[in-house]
Amino acid sequence: MMDATATNAPGSARTRILDAAERIVQAKGVGGLTLDAAARGAGVSKGGLLYHFASKEALIGGMLERYAEFCSASFDATVARQGEGRGRVARAFIAWAFGEEDTSPGTEQTDRLAAVCLAAFHHDPALLDPMRAVAARMKAELLADGTPTGAALAVLTASDGLFMAHIFKLYRHTDAERAALRATLEALLASSA
């Protein structure tokens, strides 16, 4: 039996609904997401779900807004862990892309949320606007961190490429290939200093 206080707490119910919806989208795509299935997966009534999300689009939008907040906070934390100075944001992109962060590609939450992002793109590309805003901010901070534009964009593109290769399971680099790529990106940053 569910704890009544947990199921009645709006933040808790909203979080459970979003978690359930993400699991459904990851397993079945947006086409498999129904309000009934999300409510069942969250352990709430359909009315309880509708209190938080009036439609499937609102639910997808809620998942993407949460993903945008997660990405923004993760990015800020990753940057904060890098040493001060020029190239700090570029080093953060490298740290994230190469698995040093709890939010790097391959972590359950990042992979689940990426699946939501991809599925939502096919459902309604406008739903990705919160993620586009976060990505634009991240790129702007990277281009403003003192790294020459070409080197900064190489780091950004390599990071995105590693992420997409992982998400789409296009290919998997060997440990030696990953080490060589990382060394090349770090050398590019060092030579740009």
pLDDT per residue as tens digits for the range 75-99:
999 999 999 999 999 999 999 999 8
pLDDT of residue 11: 61
Q: How far is CA 1 from CA 6, 14, 34, 38, 183, in A?
A: 11, 19, 24, 19, 53
The total number of residues shown for the chain amounts to 193
Q: Tell me the two tokens of residue 83.
A: 């040493």
Which of residues 81 and 120 earns the better pLDDT score? 81
Residue 53's pLDDT band (boundaries 50, 70, 90)? very high
- Taking all residues of the chain, what is their mean pLDDT, rounded to a whole number? 88
Q: Is the pLDDT of residue 10 over 70?
A: no
Q: Do 89 and 131 have their domain in common?
A: yes
CATH assignment at residue 3: 1.10.10
Which of residues 131 and 9 earns the better pLDDT score? 131
Torsional sign, CA 32, 33, 35, 40: positive
Q: Do 108 and 150 have their domain in common?
A: yes
Domain region containing 27: 1-54
pLDDT of residue 154: 97
pLDDT of residue 2: 38
State pLDDT tens for residues 55-81: 999 999 999 999 899 889 999 999 999
* pTM, to two decimals: 0.82
Q: Do 86 and 174 have their domain in common?
A: yes
Percent over 90 (pLDDT), the chain: 62
Q: Do 84 and 123 have their domain in common?
A: yes
CATH assignment at residue 107: 1.10.357
Domain end call among 39, 54, 69: 54
Q: Do 141 and 169 have their domain in common?
A: yes
Q: Do 168 and 111 have their domain in common?
A: yes
Number of domains in the chain: 2
Q: Do 44 and 80 have their domain in common?
A: no
Q: Tell me the two tokens of residue 63.
A: 């998942």
Tell me which residue of 3, 17, 9, 6 sits closest to 45, measured CA to CA. 17
Q: Do 61 and 96 have their domain in common?
A: yes
